[in-house]
Amino acid sequence: MKSELTALLATRREGYGMPRAFYNTDALYPEEVARIWQGGWLFAGFTIEIPKPGDYFTLNVDNTPVLVMRDDAGDVRAFHNVCRHRGTMLCRQESGHVRAIICPYHSWTYSRQGDLIACHGMQEELDKSKLGLKPIHTEVVAGLIYVSLSNSPPAFAPLRDEFGPAAKPQGFDRAKIAKIIDYEVPSNWKLVWENNRECFHCVRCHPQYFKANYDVYEEEFASDAVKKQMAASLARTQSKWAAQGIEITHTHGGLATFPDPDRNRWFAADRTMLAEGFDTESMDGKRVAPLMGDYADQDVGVLRMRSMPNFWVHASCDHAVAARLLPAGPRMTRVRGYWLVKEDAVEGKDYDLEKMLPFWHLTNEQDWDICKWQQKGVDSIGYEPGPLSTRKEYNVDAFIRWYLQEMRGGGVAAPQLRIA
Ligand code: FES
Ligand SMILES: [Fe+2]
């Protein structure tokens, strides 16, 4: 299998998309799960989802159930959501609260620290200290919870150093979740990322999104009128950003470069301006909620953060919209969309979901629809990878190169080699 995999990885022609086998083969998918999804760091959720000891949420990384819980000391921990007796999945709800975790099969009972505290009928014959829940590496930065299924995860400090300061003014760690929407995207997870990494499609497919952002205008190719507008937007916000101690990191049109496999950049945070007339990413550009976090002014542009292989967020002055990807087979990606607002904002008074949701819910659904149809085309024997635009799809190329690097074992993720 190893040589087959090496041979397959070599079939990608530089500057082109990837061949069909990358998007639908049952053989390649487990290798991706092992090397990428069980190798690196995954965004799991927000600390605000589990404010009190005993609060938990669950997620499935392909077939691996994960339990994320606030322990008695108030720390966030993650465990394999699997009983140490005969392996039953323990917590079956998406979220909840427990005093202790009691296995629904034979009642083995675990504390909120993951220790086995009772196993009636077997107490005498067991050393309970050896049968606690299996821990999963967990890190928290600025209210974001990351987990790694690897035994020896890559260093988290570089992400922490970048996301910590960048995310601080947004106040993710003290926000409120206004809405969660789960999407099932009948598409390979890589098609979802490739779609996310270019805005070539935005004018045609995202009539709302493209008006609010300068993503479609790569600077050197933008018209003088657009350049003028970008300069005006930058001037309007630049001085205010400086006054609020917010760093400007992406001051021109087009998407910021991400990922960057040549520099091991599997995460990135940057802040960019919104188009003229847009105070936030809403349908009419007007604010849809009170200012979030530390913001004292609405002209803060958009904070964008992403990490491979499963997280991105667009955070405006008044609300933030995040996405968490999880693979569920070669042709299925589960995406959770989160809408966050200021911690004390009250629905119906301070914000209205009917006004807040459409901008990103529509954009999301437009993208998932594209991915669905692309999967159908890519599945066909008639599919042949086409050339990528150097002007517009440089990040698709970067994503593919990052992916190939990870699959070859040369990137950030520490692969758990399963290949004979
Ligand atoms: S499988 Fe959990 S107690 Fe038996
Ligand atoms: Fe899109």
Rounded mean pLDDT, 284-294: 97
The confidence band for 418, taking pLDDT boundaries of 50, 70 and 90, is very low
Can you name the residues that pair with 289 across neighbouring β-strands?
none
Per-residue model confidence as pLDDT tens digits over 213-264: 888 887 667 788 888 888 888 888 877 887 887 877 888 788 989 999 999 9
Which tokens is 66 given? Answer: 């994960």
Which tokens is 67 given? Answer: 């339990």
Position 219 scores a pLDDT of: 66
Which tokens is 210 given? Answer: 């493209």
For CA atoms 171, 173, 177, 183, the dihedral sign is positive
**Nearest ligand to the C-alpha of residue 195?**
2
Give me ligand 2 centre to Cα 365, in Å: 9
Per-residue model confidence as pLDDT tens digits over 308-366: 999 999 999 999 999 999 999 999 999 999 999 999 999 999 999 999 999 999 999 99
Position 230 scores a pLDDT of: 86
Position 1 scores a pLDDT of: 64
The confidence band for 15, taking pLDDT boundaries of 50, 70 and 90, is very high
Cβ-based neighbour number of residue 200 at 10 Å: 18
Residue-averaged pLDDT of the chain: 93
Q: Does the Cβ of 86 fall within 6 Å of ligand 1?
A: yes
Give me ligand 2 centre to Cα 19, in Å: 22
Q: Whose CA is nearest to atom 3 of ligand 1?
A: 106
Position 103 scores a pLDDT of: 98
Cβ 96 vs Cβ 80: under 8 Å: no
Burial of 225 (0-12, 13-18, 19+ CB in 10 A): exposed
- Classify 301 in phi/psi space as left (phi over 0), alpha (psi -120 to 50) or beta: left
Give me ligand 2 centre to Cα 205, in Å: 7
Per-residue model confidence as pLDDT tens digits over 366-388: 999 999 999 999 999 999 999 99
Per-residue model confidence as pLDDT tens digits over 82-126: 999 999 999 999 999 999 999 999 999 999 999 999 999 998 899
| Residue that wins the pLDDT comparison between 245 and 169 | 169
> Which of 67, 79, 81, 83 has the most ligand 1 atoms within 8 A of CB, as the residue to mutate?
83
Q: What is the pTM of this model?
A: 0.95
Query: For residues 124 and 127, what is the distance between their CA atoms, to the nearest angstrom?
Result: 8
Position 417 scores a pLDDT of: 37
Q: Whose CA is nearest to atom 1 of ligand 1?
A: 86
Looking from the CA of residue 104, the nearest atom of ligand 1 is 2
Phi, psi of 39 (to 5 degrees): -105, -45
